[in-house]
Copies of this chain bind each other. A is one copy, B any other.
Amino acid sequence: MNAEIITIGDEILIGQIVDTNSQFIGQQLNKIGVSVYQVTSIQDDKQHILNALKEAQERVDIVILTGGLGPTKDDITKKTIATYFKDDEVVEYPEVIAHIKALFKKINHPFKEIQKTQAQLPSKATLLMNTFGTAPGMWFFENETVFVSLPGVPYEMKGLIVNEVLPRIQKQYQLPYIFHKTIMTYGAGESTIAETLEHFEDNLPSYIKLAYLPSFGKVRLRLSAKGTDRELLEKELTSKVDEVYKLIPEFITGLDDDNSLEKRVGELLTKNKKTLATAESLTGGKIAATLVAVPGSSSYYKGSIVAYSEEAKINLLDVSAEIIKEHSVVSKQVALAMAKGLKNKLKTDFAVAVTGNAGPTQDKTDKSVGVVFIAFVSDNEKFVREFDFGQPREKVINRTVSKALEILQKEIL
C-alpha cells in the first residue's frame, strides 16, 4: 500500500514553520508496512486542496491530510473535503460539542458559539476523537481510497495517528513488511564507498534497495527491504548487511537502526553503568539537546554546562583566568581545563568539553574560523583533539556535535 501525506498551511510554504508532521507520519506508516510515495505541502485554498486530493487519489491508496481544522476562516479543509466527496454536506455532530464542552469545563474556559464550527464536519466522516484538543480527526473510505484528515497541532496529530489511524489502516488492508537497516560509516566519501559496492549493488534482489546518506563527514548506507515474507526479508537483509561489513570493514562504525549515535552512547553508558556530563562553548547546548532527546537519558546523563562566556568558563568550570589569557578561549588548554572542571564538579565517569570558533568572525582568539578543540576526560585517561571543520558556521557546529559523540562512543567501548 502507498500513501501520500498532504500538509495544508501557508505557514509551511512561506517557511514560517518547518513541517515535522510529515516526518512523524512517514515513520509511523513505514513501521506498519505502508510506503509513503509523496509528501505534498499546499496552501489554505479550496481549489488547491481539491486538486491535491484528486492527484493524490490517482497516485496512492491512502491519503492523509494534516492542518486546516481550526475554527477560523483560514481553515477551509472541512468544507472542501465535503465538496470533494460528491457534494457531501457539513453537519453538526453533537458528540463533538459534548467533547469540547467537557474539555473546556476542565480548564474553566467558557464555551462560545464559534466553537460549534469545530463540530461541523462532512456527514460521511467517521469521527476520530481527539483526546488533546477540540478538532476531531476524520476517516473516509471512498472509491477504494482511505482519506484521513487530522488537525495540524503536532501532539494532537500524533495522538490520533497512533491511537486511531494506524489500527484502522491495519484492519483495512493486508500490509507487507518494510524493514530498514542503516550502516554507519566514517572516513570515506560517498564515491569511494560506491566504487567498492558497485558489484554488490548491481546484484541486489529487486525487493532490496540501497541508499547513500552523506552528512558531515559520515556516510550512512540504508538497506531497505519490502515484501510479504517476513522471515525471508529479515534473513536476506541480515545477510546483505554482513556482505557490506565484509566489503568495507575499515569504514564501518556500526549499525544504526534508528539513525542515532546518541542512542548508542546511551546504551553503552547504561550497560556499563557509567555517567556522563558535557561542557559546551561554540555548540551552545546542541550536544546536550542531542543526548537528552534519548528517552531514559536521565539515568546516565548528569547535566551540561553551556559556558558561552569567559565568566561561565571561570565560574562554572573552574577554568583559570590565566590559562584563558595566555592561550585564548579557543585552545587545547582551555578545552582540557573545561573537561576536568566539569568532571570534578559533577563527579561523572566521563566528561567531554568543546571549545572552538564557529565563525563567521574570529572573535577573541588567534585561531582561525573552523578550529575546534574537543577534550575527553575519564578516570584513567585525558586527551584533547584539534580539528579544522572549515566553514560555514552550521557545518562547524554540526561536525563538532557528531565528532564529540563519536569520540565518546569509541572511548566508552
Chain A interface (Cβ < 8 Å from any Cβ of B): 10-20, 22-28, 30, 35-44, 48, 55, 70-75, 109, 112-115, 117-118, 132, 153-155, 158-159, 180, 182, 189-195, 198, 201, 209-215, 222, 224, 259, 277, 284-286, 288-289, 292-293, 297-298, 301-309, 311-312, 315-316, 345-347, 391-392, 394-395
Q: Distance (Å) between the CB of A191 and the closest chain B CB?
A: 4
User: A25-B15, A26-B13, A72-B194 given as contacts; is B308 within 8 A of A305 (CB)?
Assistant: no
* A63 and B408 alpha carbons, distance in the complex (Å): 43
Contacts A14-B27, A38-B41, A159-B392 known; 17 new A-B pairs at CB < 8 A: A11-B222, A14-B180, A15-B23, A17-B23, A17-B213, A39-B39, A70-B190, A75-B212, A114-B191, A115-B191, A153-B214, A285-B289, A285-B304, A292-B306, A292-B308, A298-B308, A311-B346
Q: Distance (Å) between the CB of A64 and the closest chain B CB?
A: 13
Copy number in the complex reads: 2
Q: Distance (Å) between the CB of A232 and the closest chain B CB?
A: 21
User: A114-B195, A194-B114, A346-B312 given as contacts; is B44 within 8 A of A392 (CB)?
Assistant: no
Q: Are the CB atoms of A298 and B309 closer together than 8 Å? A: yes
Q: Are the CB atoms of B15 and A394 closer together than 8 Å? A: no
- Residues of chain B contacted by A118 (CB below 8 angstroms): 191
Q: Are the CB atoms of A214 and B70 closer together than 8 Å? A: yes
Q: Are the CB atoms of B38 and A211 closer together than 8 Å? A: no
Q: Are the CB atoms of A347 and B191 closer together than 8 Å? A: no
User: A72-B191, A394-B155 given as contacts; is B292 within 8 A of A301 (CB)?
Assistant: no
> What is the predominant secondary structure among interface residues of chain A facing chain B?
mixed
Q: Are the CB atoms of B36 and A39 closer together than 8 Å? A: no
Which chain B residue lies CB-closest to A7? B39
**Which residue of B12, B38, B41, B306 contacts A304 across the interface (Cβ within 8 Å)?**
B306
Q: Are the CB atoms of A289 and B292 closer together than 8 Å? A: no
Q: Are the CB atoms of B72 and A190 closer together than 8 Å? A: yes
Could you name 6 residue pairs across A and B whose Cβ atoms are closer than 8 Å? A38-B40, A40-B40, A70-B191, A71-B190, A153-B215, A284-B289
- Residues of chain B contacted by A36 (CB below 8 angstroms): 13-15
Q: Are the CB atoms of B316 and A305 closer together than 8 Å? A: yes
- Residues of chain B contacted by A72 (CB below 8 angstroms): 190-191, 193-194, 212
**Which residue of B37, B158, B286, B304 contacts A13 across the interface (Cβ within 8 Å)?**
B37
* A22 and B13 alpha carbons, distance in the complex (Å): 8
* A42 and B159 alpha carbons, distance in the complex (Å): 26
Q: Are the CB atoms of A305 and B305 closer together than 8 Å? A: yes
